[in-house]
Amino acid sequence: MSFLNVIRRRLMFLILVLFGVTVITFTISNLIPGDPARMIAGDRATPEIVQNIREDLGLDKPLPVQYLRYLEGVVQGDFGNSIRTRRPVLEDLRIFFPATLELALTALFFATALGIPLGVASAVWKDKPIDHFVRVIAVTGISTPAFWLGLLVILLFYGNLGWLPSGGRIDPSLEMPTRVTGFLMIDSLLAGDFQAFGSALKHILLPAFTLGFVHLGVVARQVRAAMLEELQQDYIRTAKANGLSRFKVVFTEALPNAMIPSITVLGLALGDLLYGAVLTETVFAWPGMGAYVVNSIQALDFPAVMGFTVVVSLAYVLINLAVDLIYMAVDPRIREVS
Amino acid sequence: MKNSHWFQVVGAAAVTVGMAVNAPLAMADGDADLLVVAKASDPQTLDPAQTMDNNDWTVTYPLYQRLVAYDVSEDGKGLTSVVGELASDWSASDDGTVWTFDLASGNAFSDGAAVDAAAVEYSFNRLMALGRGPSEAFPGGMKVEATGDMQVTFTLEQPFAPFLYTLANNGAGIVNPAVEGKGDDHGTEWLSANSAGSGAYMLTGWERGQSLVLEPNPNYGGATPEIEKIRVDIIAEAAARRLKLEAGDVHIAESLPVDQLDALGSTDGVEVQNYPSLKVTYLYLNNKVAPLDNVDVRRAISAAVDYQGIIDGILDGNGVQMHGPIPEGMWGQNKNATQYSYDLASAKKALDVAGGASEEISFLYSDRDPLWEPIAIATQAYLSQLGLNVKLEKLANATMRERFDTGEFGIATGNWSPDFADPYMFTNYWFDSKRHGLAGNRSWYSNDKVDGLLQQAVVSSDTAERTALYGELQEIVTDEAAYVYLFQKDYRIAVRDDVEGFVFNPMLEDIFNFGGMSLSD
């Protein structure tokens, strides 16, 4: 029951958040000096052509009217047409958002799969070489610009070794698998196309590593700190006194408890990865939302920017909701408070 | 049993991944049927009646044919003169208001429908009805009518001298009238992502943000293209484009910065090609605001800029100084017009005549072109030698354009390239007092005599007369230093050495004659 209550409350909150996001984004977008109609018409267009476009797009209407029209469309699932691509924004997002999400989730998987073991090892062998090594990884990850690391790995793995492709989602000479989820690796497996799967996997390795590297250090350091705290607790001492092996003490007693605060970090990391993918996408020619939204901002393509903002906000709120629910599932104390 | 099950799953996954990942990387080099072009950004729309961007034209231009096309010289150079493409012949009335075109037979759209007069009429009526940017190149009130199955007549409200040349523009592409059935928007949404032309190629695939694929139009009326597939890969990062070119994964890499091009010059298998271009870079001097409303201040500024220093230092020598508004390579240029050169003494003298200038001068630029910032910084330094107080303002490009339109600036940088091959592009746009602001006259220059010359030149069908009129105009506007005419930058492109038949046309930057190109084995 408490789970349902939390979900219900948070979904109501979600509507308020999305409403606020649309109001703020719409207002800011329209405060920026610049005329989208002029961007479409081109520099040399006569005032008549510009006015014609303005009327077609409804930009000649007062701002509140424009906003209400937009909101009316959004409620009906219509985010309007992109000023730049002339296609429905939702259609554009349907293409670009899964690509970004696939990259972000793979990067998160990479950061988690390596970060947690490194964090545990770092706590168990505190102040030993492995701990120093993880510290170096963490500092390097946080202080290395993604575009620089991206270029470096492209140079090494594509330019010098020729092992991995330099960019894109899949070898362009291959047939794209039928779109089901929008996640290329999953869609290719569903289609039974292992060649496409292999190509998609190869293409995602470098960008996911680059994007996940920053968070790898953060996850490792967070797990280390939490593990150190847990390893000092009385129940650990009791477990040891009862003769539990070191492996069991660390992995079955301390780690599950240490993971609770790490869930927040992972949730935040996924949010970061979603909008932090912009630079990585640029370097690796990854056809995600990054390039789409940057080009849209430059072209004053407000419907596209609004659509992007709404989708990312929605994702953020849902990720936070998921984090809260996972908290409740793994920690009975939080469940009781909720 | 449980463990064994997991081992099986993990083992199968490992084998799948191993087999899949072991597939070889695709290489373009060596495949004579596939040409790969690397571009920095995805096209916005592929509708010729909508797009105003050369980046889109790389794809759209070879998909469509026009009534006329730019000619090629006997030694294989792209010319600014035009020859018939869909038109076999044409004539104009004595007053230049009625143009009649006879269409060649044998041209067809990719669906097999013939290109006839009705298709031409439809395409131009659609272009003008949509009223987007590309329609601006054509005179308002233009009427287009199919006067026979294979004859079309354009009637203009008044003579428009460059008319013939506007027909080679991307916006003049002839569209299959069948698009009218694709939605209730004249096929706009459909055409933004599909092709309906009679060009040498047709669009067969577009993975957004990743690549576009063109394949030969099976019904093309011209010679069958040699290359069976053109792939345009979207690679935003310049260093990645360069690496792929070096590795032979792409054949042509566009928009590489000067340092990358210089480095590629010594790479095996890659040629960096340089072509004189008609794209110019210049400074707008706002003639309406003090102190730039004083002609002697403008002359002083024009003489204080080290043109060759900018070309050598910022362009690495890959450009030439402009000689007035009409660039080298476009007919009508007057070599007798004033060409300013770096001369601090005469600059100071001119400033003395003006009585000095104490006002702060704003200098606008954006990061749209990476050259603009060094130009702004250099100009600030040059003008400080005159004691002029220049304040640099780096703005978002959209904001800067807005300021051009409202005239709220002192100096600003800009680029200009012609839409059609006529001096009109560099004169009527730049100096006509009816085009103040973003529309073209970005220096907010006004001169009744110049307006009169422009009007005479646009209605005259006599090229010698027009040359004389534009010649007189150039002497006036250079003397009055309406703009600072900086340079014509060379068009530089990196190409694999197995690419043959590329003809650069200065009117078609970023556009390739795919139909005439081939790859050596």
**The predicted structure's pLDDT at residue A90:** 92
Give strand pairing partners of B50.
Answer: none
Contact (CB<8Å) A172/B440: no
Within a domain: A208 = yes
Q: End-to-end alpha-carbon separation of chain A, Å?
A: 10
Q: Give contacts of A 177-196 with B, CB under 8 A.
A: 194-195
**The predicted structure's pLDDT at residue A77:** 86
Please name which of B381, B421, B387, B416 lies closest in space to residue B283, comparing C-alpha atoms.
Answer: B416
Contact (CB<8Å) A38/B401: yes
Q: Which amino acid is at B460?
A: S
B16: helix, strand or coil: helix
**The predicted structure's pLDDT at residue B26:** 47
Residue indicated by tokens 């554009």? A92
Within a domain: A71 = no
Record the tokens describing residue B348, joined without a space: 């100071």
Tell me how close the Cα of B229 comes to any Cα of chain A, in angstroms: 11
Q: What is the CATH number of the domain that holds A317?
A: 1.10.3720.10
Cβ B449 vs Cβ B431: under 8 Å: no
CA distance B187 to B47: 9
**The predicted structure's pLDDT at residue B451:** 97
SS3 per residue for B437-503: CCCCECCCCCCHHHHHHHHHHHHCCCHHHHHHHHHHHHHHHHHCCCEEEEEEECEEEEEECCEECCC
Within a domain: A204 = yes
Contact (CB<8Å) B207/A201: no
pLDDT along chain A (338 residues), means of 10: 77 86 87 79 78 85 90 88 86 91 93 91 91 90 86 91 90 86 92 93 94 88 90 88 86 86 82 79 88 83 89 86 82 68
List, in order, residues 6 or more apart from A236 with CB less than 8 Å away: A230, A249, A253, A254
Size of interface A-B (CB pairs under 8 A): 183
Within a domain: A286 = yes
Residue indicated by tokens 């970060």? A115
Give strand pairing partners of B231.
Answer: B36, B213
Cβ A321 vs Cβ A263: under 8 Å: no
B40 Cβ under 8 Å from any chain A Cβ: no
CB-nearest partner of A46 from B23, B47, B136: B136
Q: Give contacts of A 94-133 with B, CB under 8 A.
A: 95-96, 99
Q: Give contacts of B 240-299 with A, CB under 8 A.
A: 240, 243-244, 246-247, 249
Chain B residue with minimal CA distance to A188?
Answer: B20
A252: helix, strand or coil: helix
For residue A145, the Cα-to-chain-centroid distance in whole angstroms is: 17
Region label for A82, one of left (φ > 0), alpha (ψ between -120 and 50) or beta (otherwise):
beta
List, in order, residues 6 or more apart from B8 with CB less than 8 Å away: none
Chain B residues inside the 8 Å CB shell of A33: 398-399, 402-403
Record the tokens describing residue B112, joined without a space: 């097999």
Within a domain: A6 = no
Give strand pairing partners of B319.
Answer: B489
Record the tokens describing residue B119, joined without a space: 């298709």
**The predicted structure's pLDDT at residue A295:** 82
List, in order, residues 6 or more apart from A166 with CB less than 8 Å away: A154, A158, A159, A206, A284, A285, B235, B240, B243, B244, B249
Q: How much is the CA Rg of chain A, to the nearest whole Å?
A: 24
Within a domain: A34 = no
Q: In chain B, what are the helix, strand and coil shares in percent, each to the nearest 5?
A: 35, 20, 45
CB-nearest partner of B243 from A48, A158, A281: A158
Please name which of B508, B391, B409, B464 lies closest in space to residue B61, comparing C-alpha atoms.
Answer: B508
Name the packing angle between helices B2-21 and A194-231 (round to 10°). 130
Q: End-to-end alpha-carbon separation of chain B, Å?
A: 58
Contact (CB<8Å) B20/A197: yes
Please name which of A216, A214, A225 lies closest in space to residue A122, comparing C-alpha atoms.
Answer: A225
Write down the pTM of the prediction: 0.83
**The predicted structure's pLDDT at residue B450:** 98
Tell me how close the Cα of A205 comes to any Cα of chain B, in angstroms: 11
**The predicted structure's pLDDT at residue A172:** 81
B402 Cβ under 8 Å from any chain A Cβ: yes
Contact (CB<8Å) B240/A285: yes
**Counted domains in chain A:** 1
Return phi, psi of residue B275, to 5°. -135, 140
Within a domain: A315 = yes
Region label for A285, one of left (φ > 0), alpha (ψ between -120 and 50) or beta (otherwise):
left
pLDDT along chain B (521 residues), means of 10: 49 50 49 88 92 92 97 92 97 95 97 97 95 88 96 96 95 97 89 96 93 96 95 91 93 91 90 94 97 97 97 93 96 95 96 92 93 96 96 90 92 94 96 93 97 96 95 97 96 95 94 95 71
DSSP state of A155: I
**The predicted structure's pLDDT at residue A18:** 87
A165 Cβ under 8 Å from any chain B Cβ: yes
B229 Cβ under 8 Å from any chain A Cβ: no
Contact (CB<8Å) A154/B239: yes
Residue indicated by tokens 């469509």? B64
Neighbour-count burial for A280-318, b at 16+ CB within 10 Å, e otherwise: bbbbbbbbbbbbbbbbbbbbbbbbbbbbbbbbbbebbbe
For residue A37, the Cα-to-chain-centroid distance in whole angstroms is: 32
Contact (CB<8Å) A287/B210: yes
Tell me how close the Cα of B207 comes to any Cα of chain A, in angstroms: 9
Cβ B381 vs Cβ B418: under 8 Å: no
Within a domain: A9 = no
Q: Residue A238 belongs to what domain range?
A: 89-337
CA distance B173 to B178: 15
Contact (CB<8Å) B233/A172: yes
